[in-house]
Structure 1
């Protein structure tokens, strides 16, 4: 973030002066505007549309308390509570950096955050945590570690590839997924990363004709893995728990069958970036040696671009036996991303500080802590009531066409036994809206359109609403459609919970009213505005 200097300007007379100059430069970076720091250290998806002040996800780097937000399947703006923690964290790091330097101070703080995250998720002490700027970056970390374990001849099998992050098509093949890494290095999108280029097989989950998950996904996974192993290659099997539409695939029985059939030939990586699974299910994956991708955004509601890879001890121990990691990965990592015990990888990584990544994780930890402080009984009850309200509103709407509820064969005993993502398509006079029209409605929901209407509808149109981004739906023989999503996230629960039962009930009813506002505005936009009007609104803003 500090402007580049000429070589003559940065050439100190001694090593001690060089260390002091680096520390001073890092401290100067910490004095930048907090909003600028929160969008630093990511890729182009975090860039702000300056007139609007929001990123591609519709989120500002500062709190927006009046925004009606049910968008946790995509991204959420930072809360006032998390923003206060970020301010305090920066102040504390400044004090620590005066004596230690920014790199060392951040390294120590990051290790403390690993302990904090393990505690919140109730993970064993021997689960290692590799931090990253995003879930897509974490996929590259996982690919590099799996190739180090199983060798270069690895095929990446991505289950529910139609419902993963936008960068997965590239990262699964070991290619650059953007034009700039989080470290600021300019790269060529879709070009191979040095030492990471891999074969990949993509298994979509949605049956576009029925708008349901395909029923043959478990046999398809087993057949695909069997064919690859028979061909002499090993497999990174990336499974989904859960997807953009709230679906899981394949079932846990299928994962156990994979482990039984091909020991030492397959490494399972769980895409849990939505974090819509409880501690018991998370431990189930880790106890079986699965790597787990997670994020502090999505369900928990931290700001976008806070990723991590959870590594069980048996995998970490195997990595300590001299396995080489692809050199191209080090364009995507910093020293503090690796746990302190991973000395070899830390020694090979640059000690550059990613302040934005660290601050976003500070915010995410605040949200995770707040969620865990809510009694489990209230969490279960609130998710049930909010979900029932959403399902009822969707079923009664002439405009919103809900997808059939997804029933998992794997039982959960916690709050995630019920859906928290509710996908729906849009229709006007019985005709489904196409991909472009759905995108236009999604953007129009975010604007104050009160001046375009009168009477009671003006108040509905004035509400600024953020919901889950459109998910592209491929339909056989027809033009692509899209699904929008109403999502229950952690902040719906932390912001309604109160020790006083009556107050908590009133808060929950108010949250249901906010859901009704989103549905009402969506119906208004689709019914009263034509496609050209919606496009004009989007372009005007």
Structure 2
């Protein structure tokens, strides 16, 4: 139990991979976040990562105290396992999911959850798999490794030293991967029909070749896009019901509760996080598994030896006793506390009335589009077209606002967008840091490099989040309105800071090369 009594910020930054490491010099991780509240930072970075809120920090502190008291009565391992099971029930309640519909498997990050999804799919379909990754250019950087059952970092969340990119013993065997990008080489998004055809043909080739398929689909991407279409997924499952398992990458969590329920009812495995839209501290992952799979998945067959380092007994539901018994008993306090914080944010969001959630996201989105349109240097990227689904509720509208930056007559490439991103967050570097630290979504490459510059063009992102709604909500309409206007004003300050950095920059030079259009 000694580990429980170290400073809370250290616990929140532990039990994960190197992405959680906090710099001794800056007090920030590589995403510009810190494991303690920082209300002075303007934060619109939920498409990447967000520092913990005071409300969530207090919840984590209280949870630690509660666990300590419970551990005195029944022991730390039993108390920890009991609390994790309670969190499963809380998540299902917040997402309005019947207990029998979904089992929840926790992990330190969405990337770890991808490995869990691969492990589960191998148990359902057999060990020989082709993983087809849709929107591979719009998912996490670790997916290129997890899709093949390989290590995605130099260390696991449980402290094991591994070799990044090397096969995980027993998990990578007979697994190959196909990556399907969402954008073409020029940075243009493929249309719905072309994307659907690309996915269908990739699955068809794999099945015709005698393979079973893990089809990882995107809902939603770093730009808020979904691929392939629901019609495409229905056609694939109708044609190959026993050969294909669909896994939904919903790590952004920008989907309605009705859509999440529909995915599970259709037998799709869904990967979620509490650290993107819901603004829990980075990182926290979970796999939602259709309850009808429980009997097939809970068996005493051997677990790949290399995968044992990635998961612990308490990660798995208590109604899977045989499978749980194959994993070591460990208490990952960092993973647990980050989920405690995320559950608090999720609950706060859904405690706001439905009508207010809709109105707040709509008002913020409309204001942000006007602010970007008024900027001389920013150009908003088009949002994915197509009919809106009522199953997405208030999240049927845009919540990620991606834009390119023009300076000196050209679109800034990825390398220079990274300089802007770091300076805006207050980091000292080639550019003078912004006077007001502003966190936005990390730059995302558009296509591949063009011309002689090795860096492709890129887009930055400002995002609406659950916290924007929960912190604005008040039963007093005037107070709620003022709170929302304050958030819109902070977004305006963020854009003004970007313009100021461009105007006073010596590190971003006007050039003659044009990147994209």
Q: TM-score range by the shorter chain?
A: over 0.9
Deviations 1:284-303 (A, max 9, x none): 10000000000011000000
1:350 is matched with: 328
1:467 is matched with: 440
Distance in 1 between residues matched to 2:348 and 2:388, nearest whole Å:
27
RMSD: 1.8
1:199 is matched with: 176
- Contact between 1:426 and 1:432, CA under 8 Å: does it hold in 2? yes
Distance in 1 between residues matched to 2:32 and 2:220, nearest whole Å:
22
Structure-2-length-normalised TM-score: 0.94
1:423 is matched with: 402
Find the partner of 1:124 among 70, 91, 98.
98
Distance in 1 between residues matched to 2:329 and 2:213, nearest whole Å:
32
2:513 is matched with: none
* Local SS of the residue matching 1:166: coil
Distance in 2 between residues matched to 1:359 and 1:321, nearest whole Å:
29
- Contact between 2:474 and 2:480, CA under 8 Å: does it hold in 1? yes
CA 448–190 in structure 1, closer or farther in 2 if over 3 Å, else same: closer
Q: Equivalences for 1:458-497 in 2 at 5 Å?
A: 461-475=434-448, 477-478=450-451, 479-497=455-473
Deviation of 1:84 (Å): 0.5
Structure-1-length-normalised TM-score: 0.90
Deviation of 1:160 (Å): 0.4
Deviations 1:221-279 (A, max 9, x none): 11010010000000000000001110000011111111100011000000001000011
* Local SS of the residue matching 1:81: helix
- Contact between 2:47 and 2:277, CA under 8 Å: does it hold in 1? yes
2:488 is matched with: 512
Deviation of 1:530 (Å): 2.4
- Contact between 1:251 and 1:410, CA under 8 Å: does it hold in 2? no
- Contact between 1:300 and 1:490, CA under 8 Å: does it hold in 2? yes
- Which segments of 5 or more consecutive residues in structure 2 lack a partner in the other structure? 511-517
Deviations 1:436-474 (A, max 9, x none): 11100000001189xx99xxxxxx942110000111222
- Contact between 1:291 and 1:312, CA under 8 Å: does it hold in 2? yes
Deviation of 1:324 (Å): 4.8
* Local SS of the residue matching 1:494: helix
CA 153–412 in structure 1, closer or farther in 2 if over 3 Å, else same: same
Q: Equivalences for 1:335-374 in 2 at 5 Å?
A: 335-374=313-352
Find the partner of 1:66 among 30, 37, 40.
40
* Local SS of the residue matching 1:186: coil
Further displaced range: 238-247 or 315-324: 315-324
Choose 1 or 2 for highest CA Rg: 1
* Local SS of the residue matching 2:157: coil
Find the partner of 1:248 among 212, 215, 226.
226
CA 448–160 in structure 1, closer or farther in 2 if over 3 Å, else same: closer
Find the partner of 1:163 among 114, 138, 146.
138
Find the partner of 1:398 among 365, 371, 376.
376
Q: Equivalences for 1:299-448 in 2 at 5 Å?
A: 299-320=277-298, 324-412=302-390, 414-447=393-426
1:24 is matched with: none
1:19 is matched with: none
1:183 aligns to 2:161 (yes or no): no
Distance in 1 between residues matched to 2:78 and 2:486, nearest whole Å:
46
Number of equivalenced pairs: 500
2:85 is matched with: 111
- Contact between 1:472 and 1:483, CA under 8 Å: does it hold in 2? yes
- Which segments of 5 or more consecutive residues in structure 1 lack a partner in the other structure? 1-26, 454-459, 535-541
- Contact between 1:160 and 1:249, CA under 8 Å: does it hold in 2? yes
Distance in 2 between residues matched to 1:448 and 1:224, nearest whole Å:
43
Distance in 1 between residues matched to 2:223 and 2:309, nearest whole Å:
32
- Contact between 2:450 and 2:456, CA under 8 Å: does it hold in 1? no
